[in-house]
Structure 1
Amino acid sequence: MFPADHPFHIANFRAYWLSRFAGTVALSAMSIIIGWQVYSIARDVHHLSIKEATFLLGMIGVAQFVPLFLLTPIVGLVADTFDRRWIVRCTTALLVATTVMLGTLTWLHALSLPMLFLAAVMIGLARAFAGPAYSALAPNLVPREVLPTAIAVSSIAWQVGVIIGPSLGGFLYAIHPDAAYGTSTALFLIALGMIFLIGKVPQPQAQADHRPLHRIVEGFRYVRRNRLVLASITLDLFAVLLAGATALLPVFARDILHVGSQGLGLLAAGMGIGATSTALFFSFRPMKTNVGLKMLIAVVVFGLGILTFGTAHLILPSHAFYLALAGLIVAGCADMVSVYVRSSLIQLHTPDEMRGRVSAVSQLTISASNELGEAESGLLGSLLGPVGAVVFGGIGCIVITILWSRLFPELRLAKSFDPPEILEASPEHGVITP
């Protein structure tokens, strides 16, 4: 079914993929369950207004982001120092414990807002440590020449999990909270078991010096001085920060497109559908040429897709929903191209002994663009209106891409994923030099 050089022929990678898929489905389901319980307790128990309860929902996202933000320098060093498999195993076990705790409290009718916020912090801690370890582990499981394909296949696990998880969590919780928490726990246990199936993999040699602060700074310094990596990370940061429209989907579904909760579900899945389709394509037909230029074009298309979504009701009023959904699907396809190129460039242009620290920096920017992008969309929406906010973001995304193509010609001129020369680490500067 798969070509002979496909990463699924490698047992360690199959276990890694299944672990990521099961864990992503469970984590996405938990995000819906926790959000629902926070909102319900705020409204029904504490009798807060809709605006006050909605504010608490936003604070749940902040509770997850703060640990990641504070721990980014440390978690990258941990991923470059210790066995990455055990880091993922420990963080997955923490997610199992968190899910069991919430499920038990729900069963005992003892759940409270402080416990839900504690759970959000625990999830943030787990994500902070697991993200760099997961990202840095993938290149250790497959040959270098199939890494771009492995990244695309790994992205499928994440994208499909993000699509399935919220629907599964909401459906099971509607049946009974025990079913939702029981299924999430089982999925986390599957993820944990798959990671235990991964055999011994190469691990970067431990640094001889005893200057952990110096090694932490090395990761940030490397990103700053490697202009190709810096351009890839920051372009994605600003594009999604400006053009992220997911926080405004309920507003569009209810008050602009008038499609209700059912339409909201389809809109929420739109970008995931596009991204999954593109990742599946790359898993069979990996990109090989003009990768930097294609990334820049993809980010422009992403901005155009968001613009289409935001103005669909003006362009084609009679079929606005379908045009808006199409815009989101196109944006998802383009976003996956950007993710594919960025991830491949970062992994292949970063020495193995620094992948954890660089992945931590990348994870911080991704989380910042997602969580803070939603906050930015909400704030801008209150000032310009939802349509104005989306239009501003789409145009801003395109302008940023054009600007980045001028500021970072290295990105525009990148022909393939492989570094142009054999590179050596410079220990005194923590950078890569020819």
Structure 2
Amino acid sequence: METIPRPPSASREANANGHPLPLRWKRTIAIIWTGQADSILATIAATFAVLWHITATADSALMLSAAGIASLLPVALLSPLGGVAADRFNKRHVMIAADGIAGAFSLALAVAVGLGFSSMLLLLSLLAARATAQAFHGPSLMALMPELVPERDMVRINTLDQTLSSGSAIIGPAVGIALYTAWGFSAVLVMDALCAALACLCLAVARLPYARSDAPSSAGVTADLRDGAAAIAHDRPVAALLVMVMLAMLLFLPLGTLSPLMTYDWFGGGGFAASLVEAAAGIGLLVGSVAMLAWGGGKRLVGVLAVAGALIGAGCIVCGLLPRDAFPVYVALIGLVFAATAAFNAPVIPLMQKRVPAEKFGRVMGLFGSLSTLASPVGLAIAGPAAEALGVNRWFIVCGALLVVAMIVASASCSLRSLDEGA
């Protein structure tokens, strides 16, 4: 009797890199992001508690500026090394080490504060340690994403991470200040350490058959960095995408920093009014992320980027044109602008995944993240004097107009359009 060959199992679909997915891959997603959600929330709560502690004990703009640098600079400088680590080593181990070290720093600082040893240097060290951990954790997670889901769900998995971050940005500060007020600074740090431990546990038990790197070891870290830079420089569509993202960061992100000044100087609002704007931004980001999570982005992701970027620019123009008595309209517009920001962010990793080989994805995303992050302080260096000279409302108009023009030019770029065609 002839044996009929068994057809391949329909449930064994391929991930975005073409490898067979585990049968219960959705459970793996749930396990990993349960740990990530708790860790992100605790990190935001602890960071806010640190900033509030600095405000309450030092009352120094200089120290708050130093805290901002400690939170940003390690990510910008060390992300390329984090990308190399993602390509060289087991991504699960890199993320566990990053979360574990950051949690250990929080626990050690909690003990020090409990014993009465607290200094600005210790607080800045915690922020720098957190940022350093993110520089290694982020590229590994981004490099692992294509191994976790089918290609059709790449936008959704990227948006899920953004949704968790935006949701945590809304409630994290409230959690941090509530614990700080009720039980003290040490309690917030202990919660941060416990949530980091939970994230490590979730990563440890999740089934990740493709977390280990199969790429051959290169001659050294410098060679890996050169290889990642060459992968960007020699691929015109990827280089064009990087320029597009950097322009958006250069023009838009400084406006977020100037938003409190817009509230105070143009609309005459105080601290409560500024907090309403921050809440509207967080809610807008969350709503936009949920919408992208449900939709998936469709097949023309470059079009989504260009339209979302143009909407951000148009929103900034309208914000700058508002009269002084239109603060409620400004709050609503900020919510819409940040909803568009969520739509702009979601397609970036899926577009990169189509072009960059899996064995180089970590180092390329590390360099990509580093360069786009560095665009923000450059934009701030320009925006501060420019806003002083023109007025903050007029600077909103200028940046918004430049962003709209940049998105129109980008949408006409053959190199960028080829990303949607898989060319």
Question: Residue 206 of structure 2 aligns with which residue?
Answer: 198
Which sits farther off after the overlay, 109-118 or 64-73? 64-73
- Residues 278-312 of structure 1: CA deviation (Å, up to 9, x unaligned): 22122222122322122111101111122333333
Unaligned residue ranges in structure 2 (runs of 5+): 1-10, 16-20
When structure 1 is superposed on structure 2, of 78-87 and 197-206 the one drifting more is: 197-206
Indicate yes or no: 2:355 matched with 1:345. no
Q: Deviations over 1:88-145 (max 9, x none)?
A: 1111111112212332333333211111222222122111111101111111112233
1:24 pairs with 10, 15, 40, which one? Answer: 40
Partner of 1:327: 333
1:291 matched to which residue of 2? 301
1:224 is aligned to: 233
Task: Give the TM-score normalised by the residue count of structure 1.
Answer: 0.84
State whether structure 2 residue 73 is matched by structure 1 residue 66. Answer: yes
Does the CA contact (< 8 Å) of 1:246 and 1:374 recur in 2? no
Q: How does 1:121-160 map to 2 (within 5 A)?
A: 121-160=128-167
Amino acid at match of 1:84: K
Moved more, 225-234 or 343-352: 225-234
CA contact (8 A) 2:79 2:139 kept: no
Aligned position for 2:277 = 267
Aligned partner letter, 1:278 = G
Letter in 2 for 1:97: A
- The one-letter code sitting in structure 1 at the alignment partner of 2:197 is L
Cα 1:388/1:227, change in 2 over 3 Å = same
Tell me if the contact between 1:219 and 1:354 (Cα under 8 Å) persists in the aligned partners.
yes
Q: Provide Cα deviations, 1:215-256, integer angstroms capped at 9, x if missing partner.
A: 221111111222222222221222122122221232233343
Alpha-carbon displacement from aligned partner over 1:260-293 (angstroms, at most 9, x marks no partner): 3333222112233222222212222212232212
Residues 386 and 354 (structure 1 numbering): CA distance in 2 closer, same or farther, change over 3 Å?
A: same
- Change over 3 Å in CA distance of 1:32–1:362 after alignment to 2: same
Identity, % of aligned pairs?
21
**Compared with structure 1, are the counterparts of its residues 124 and 209 closer, same or farther at alpha carbon in structure 2 (3 Å cutoff)?**
closer
Please state whether the residue corresponding to 1:313 is helix, strand or coil: coil
The residue matched to 1:205 in structure 2 has which SS? coil
Shift of 1:340: 1.2
Q: CA deviation at 1:370?
A: 4.4
State whether residues 272 and 332 of structure 1, in contact with CA within 8 Å, keep that contact through their aligned partners in structure 2.
yes
1:209 Cα deviation from its structure 2 partner: 4.3
Range with greater deviation from structure 2 (351-360 or 386-395): 386-395
* 8 Å CA contact 2:25, 2:149 repeated in 1: no
Structure 2 residue matching 1:89: 3-state secondary structure:
helix
User: Once the 2 structures are TM-superposed, how far is the Cα of residue 198 of structure 1 from its aligned partner?
Assistant: 1.7
Preserved CA contact (<8 Å) 1:236 1:338: no
Query: Distance in 1 between the 2:133 and 2:233 partners?
Result: 26
Query: In 2, Cα distance between the equivalents of 1:307 and 1:98?
Result: 43
Question: Residues of 2 paired with 1:12 and 1:172: CA distance?
Answer: 31
Q: Does 1:248 align with 2:258?
A: yes
- Out of 164, 172, 191, the residue aligned to residue 183 of structure 1 is 191
Change beyond 3 A, Cα 1:377–1:29: farther
Per-residue CA deviation, residues 348-380 of structure 1 (Å, 9 max, x unaligned), is 322110111111022213432445545544443
* Inter-partner Cα distance in structure 2 for 1:178 and 1:297: 45
**For the Cα contact (< 8 Å) 1:61–1:371, is it kept in 2?**
no
Asked if the contact 2:317–2:397 (Cα under 8 Å) also holds between the matched residues in 1, the reply is yes
Structure-2 separation of matches of 1:67 and 1:290: 34
Which position in structure 2 is the counterpart of 1:75? 82
Counterpart position of 1:383: 389
Unpaired segments ≥5 residues, structure 1: 44-52, 421-434
> What amino acid is aligned across from residue 380 of structure 1 in structure 2?
A
Amino acid at match of 2:371: T
Q: Name the aligned partner's letter for residue 62 of structure 1.
A: I
Quote the residue 1:424 is aligned against.
Answer: none
Partners of 1:25 and 1:162 within 8 A in 2: yes
CA deviation after TM superposition for structure 1 residue 208, in Å: 4.9
Per the alignment, residue 50 of structure 1 pairs with none
Deviations 1:183-238 (A, max 9, x none): 32332222222222222321331315434422221111111222222222221222
Deviation at residue 413 of structure 1 after TM alignment: 5.3
The two structures have a TM-score, normalised by structure 2, of 0.86
How many Å separate the matches in 1 of 2:379 and 2:116?
Answer: 35
Aligned with 1:292: secondary structure? helix
Would the aligned equivalents of 1:72 and 1:364 in 2 still touch at CA under 8 Å?
yes
Q: Contact between 2:179 and 2:185, CA under 8 Å: does it hold in 1? A: yes
SS, match of residue 10 in structure 1: helix
Aligned with 1:289: secondary structure?
coil
CA separation of 1:256 and 1:105: change in aligned 2, threshold 3 A = farther
Q: After TM superposition, give the deviation of residue 78 of structure 1 in Å.
A: 0.8
Read off the aligned partner of 2:133 and give its amino acid letter: A
Instruction: Tell me the amino acid that sits aligned with residue 234 of structure 1.
Output: V
SS of match in other structure, 2:208: coil
**Cα 1:340–1:352 shift into 2, 3 Å:** same
Cα distance 1:388–1:345, how it changes in 2: closer, same or farther (>3 A)?
Answer: same
- Letter of the structure 1 residue corresponding to residue 166 of structure 2: Q
The number of residue pairs the alignment matches comes to 401
